[in-house]
Amino acid sequence: MTEQVENKEHILSSPRGLKRWGGLAFFLFVIGFTVWLVSATKDWMTDANRLPLSNLVIQGQLHYLTKDDVRQSILHLHHLGSFMTQDVNSIQASVEALPWVAQAAVRKQWPDTIKVFLVENQPVAEWNGTYLVNRSGVVFKAPVLQVAGLGLTNLIGPKGSSEEVLAGLKEMRPVLKKAGFGIASLSFNERRAWRVVLTNGIRLELGHDARMQRIKRFIEIYPDLLKQDKPIDYVDLRYDTGAAVGWKTKPEYDNHAPDKK
């Protein structure tokens, strides 16, 4: 028994045994250092005081949207991280929630910059007198007052019909414009009936069938209506042929006006 113990002690104290234990100790040191380095790097990267996002670059042609609108939409995020931790998708979602933004692209630029490229909605018509419609027929909730000077046509229709109503406007407007008429409003109701109010105040009732043929009929009979020398209120074209015309009543003079002294 004594010989076995002595032999074991001899192995531990031999150069070969010391080398083996030294290698194991070095291996454990490398593992510990690696774990510490990963943890330290993670803490450094997630530290908000390191590489903070301090610059914002906004690109794109802006007519109705202001750079401050974009800046405020980003600052309203619950937490704005560092360059390493901030998710650009959350910034993009926040910016695209602005009414005038049709599309946004967001990227980070080392070491502290956020770049935002914007495409604005282009208003082509009003929607139910409250919001606006872009070129694709999509309603966006920008206030009508911002484009009050553009003289946009007011489209009126049930929810989800904006694309169809805009398509109707694009079809009718060139024909009427060529004849010298402008469209103030275009209505499309749940029964799929169309109504046009011209910029001269005349209302056209088109119904739900053959709308273009009825508009052309109005253009043909309009010169004859002018010969009546009466102000036209509406023209009902919901007939296979002809039309019904409503005339505006002239205001009566007040017979009880006080005598001049």
Return the pLDDT at 261: 30
Does residue 237 share a domain with residue 211? yes
pLDDT along the chain (261 residues), means of 10: 48 57 65 61 54 82 92 82 78 94 92 91 96 96 91 96 97 97 97 97 95 97 94 96 90 42 30
Out of 120, 153, 172, pick the residue that ends a domain: 120
Out of 103, 120, 137, pick the residue that ends a domain: 120
Return the pLDDT at 125: 98
Return the pLDDT at 252: 43
Return the pLDDT at 128: 96
Q: What is the CATH number of the domain that holds 208?
A: 3.40.50.11690
- Domain assignment present for residue 175? The answer is yes
- Domain assignment present for residue 111? The answer is yes
Does residue 133 share a domain with residue 111? no
Range of the domain at 162: 123-247
Does residue 230 share a domain with residue 149? yes
Return the pLDDT at 3: 46
Return the pLDDT at 41: 53
Return the pLDDT at 231: 95
Cα(163)–Cα(1) distance, integer angstroms: 97
Does residue 233 share a domain with residue 150? yes
Whole-prediction pTM? 0.73
Cα(6)–Cα(162) distance, integer angstroms: 96
Total structural domains within the chain: 2
Secondary-structure breakdown of the chain: helix, strand, coil percentages, each rounded to the nearest 5: 40, 25, 35
- Domain assignment present for residue 34? The answer is no
> Is residue 112 within 8 Å of residue 51, measured between CB atoms?
yes
Q: How many CA atoms lie within 13 A of 100 on its CB side?
A: 17
Cα(185)–Cα(204) distance, integer angstroms: 11
> DSSP letter at 227?
T
Return the pLDDT at 35: 62
User: Between the CA of residue 101 and those of 64, 152, 153, 231, what are the distances in Å?
Assistant: 10, 19, 21, 44
Residue count of the chain: 261
- Domain assignment present for residue 21? The answer is no
Q: What is the CATH number of the domain that holds 67?
A: 3.10.20.310
Q: Which residues is 119 bridged to in the sheet?
A: 103
